Amino acid sequence: MAHPKRRHSSTRRDKRRTHDALEGKALSIDSTTGEVHVMHRAHVFEGNLYYKGKMVIEGYEKA
């Protein structure tokens, strides 16, 4: 098992952690409904399910 002989400096540690920051989810505005939603996900608007600006399921919330 690997075991360091010398301590890594805080600078070296921080260089490794530069890519670990969290990013917000990519949001998009639907061209048909104007609803803000997570990209590449279907969303409900006025009881209907929309995906890529098209109605996929009508009366989705009833079911």
Query: Can you give the pLDDT at residue 2?
Result: 83
Contact 45, 37 (CB under 8 A): no
Residue 7 domain-assigned (yes or no): no
Sort strands 36-38 and 48-51 into parallel, antiparallel or unpaired.
unpaired
Query: Can you give the pLDDT at residue 22?
Result: 92
Contact 49, 61 (CB under 8 A): no
Count of the separate structural domains present in the chain: 1
Residue 28 domain-assigned (yes or no): yes
Query: Can you give the pLDDT at residue 60?
Result: 86
Range of the domain at 31: 23-62
Residue 46 domain-assigned (yes or no): yes
Query: Can you give the pLDDT at residue 54?
Result: 92
> Residue 26: CB partners within 8 Å, gap ≥ 6?
38, 39
> Residue 63: CB partners within 8 Å, gap ≥ 6?
57
Query: Can you give the pLDDT at residue 63?
Result: 56
Contact 48, 58 (CB under 8 A): yes
Residue 41 domain-assigned (yes or no): yes
Residue 30 domain-assigned (yes or no): yes
Tens digit of pLDDT at every position of the chain (63 positions): 788 899 999 999 999 999 999 999 999 999 889 999 999 999 999 999 999 999 999 998 765
Residue 4 domain-assigned (yes or no): no
Residue 57 domain-assigned (yes or no): yes
